[in-house]
Amino acid sequence: MIRLTDEMTRLINRARDDGFPCIVATASPGGVPNAGYIGTVLAVDEATFVYRDRTMRDPLEHIEENPKVIVLFRNAAADNGAGWKFRCTTSVVRQGELYDDMTRRLAESGLITDPGLGGAIVILQIDQVLTLFGEVLQEREAGMRW
């Protein structure tokens, strides 16, 4: 079972403001990698992140073709140098109630200031939480292969 700690939630939700945005790494079905800094990652519950994608380019195309992504986070300035890898399964939402709700939550958190701009909302269901060295700390299902 995945249950983000208060520290994880607090640091992820402040990542951009603290100067340590998350890195989201994707791969196309053919194995072409891509990674980028995402400053709008928000923990919306104990097992889910969301962010807004405004690019509508490769990262989003990779996610739609291959929904497995890694979210990397490290805050070197935190007391314990906190950092984790989150293995996630994604879905993309471009309209509707869920889109509106997540856009509103991102705006309320201050992570986006232009909610009417459009784009897509990427929902990241966390499958595993790992240390930066790859030790599994939590899993959605025990013994899951990823």
Residue ranges of domains in the chain, CATH in brackets:
6-135 (2.30.110.10)
What is the secondary structure of 49-65 as a DSSP string?
EEEEE---SHHHHHHHH
Exposure string for 17-48, b = 16+ CB within 10 A, e = fewer: eeebbbbbbbbeeeeeebeeebebbbbbeebb
Number of Cβ within 10 Å of residue 90's Cβ equals 22
Distance (Å, rounded) from C-alpha 141 to C-alpha 121? Answer: 25
Closest C-alpha among 40, 53, 36, 45 to residue 9: 45
The pLDDT value given to residue 127: 98
- Report pLDDT for 59: 64
At 78 the pLDDT is 81
**What tens-digit pLDDT sequence spans the chain (146 residues)?**
999 999 999 999 999 999 999 999 999 888 889 999 999 999 999 999 999 988 766 667 889 899 999 999 999 888 788 999 999 999 999 999 999 999 999 999 999 988 888 789 999 999 999 999 999 999 999 877 77
pTM, 2 dp: 0.92
pLDDT of residue 5: 96
pLDDT of 55: 72
